[in-house]
Structure formats: structure tokens, C-alpha cells
Amino acid sequence: MDEDRKARINRLKWHCRRALLELDLVFERFWERHSDDLDAQGEAALESLLELEDHDLWALVSGREVTGDLQQAAMIERLREVSPIANFE
């Protein structure tokens, strides 16, 4: 992994630290499984999700809300598949 990409991934990991324990657990499991296979599109989708407030992000991850953004929706599915606590549907 080149240094620029490593820096971007580390920045994303830092921004995944959230005030909600549920989100912290989801992101922890996500990074355990996907830190090596996250592509540029995934990085962009994750970055846009991380701009949301915790409760809004949790509403998407838990399935109480949906997004019309296809890239965000794909990332939300990846987040939900790694975490049983996020699968409320």
C-alpha cells in the first residue's frame, strides 16, 4: 500500500471513531474484514457517510432509514453484513 493510500485509510479509521458504541462496533468489525480491500469508490462512500451525525448514520446502518445515494447504500450493506447488531430488519 502506498503512503498516500495508507494515510487516507488511517484518516478514515480515525473518523470512524464515533460517540455511539454501536457504530464503533460496526466500524471495528468492518475494518477487521475490509481494511485491505477498500477501493477508491468505497473510500468516497465511507467518507460521505462519516460526514453524517451519529444518530443519522445509525439510522441508515440499522435500517430505520434509507439513502437514495447508490454508493452510500452499497457501503451501508457492507457495514451491515459484518455486524449482526446492525441487522434489525
Residue pLDDT, tens place only, 16-67: 999 999 999 999 999 999 988 899 999 999 999 999 999 999 999 999 999 9
Which domain does 13 fall in, by range? Answer: 3-86
- DSSP annotation of 15: H
Q: What is the pTM of this model?
A: 0.87
Indicate the number of domains in the chain: 1
Please give the radius of gyration of the chain, using alpha carbons only, rounded to the nearest integer.
12
Instruction: Tell me what the mean pLDDT of segment 4-22 comes to.
Output: 92
d(CA 34, CA 40): 13
Q: Give the CATH number of the domain where residue 24 resides.
A: 1.10.150.250
- Residue 89's pLDDT band, with cuts at 50, 70 and 90, is very low
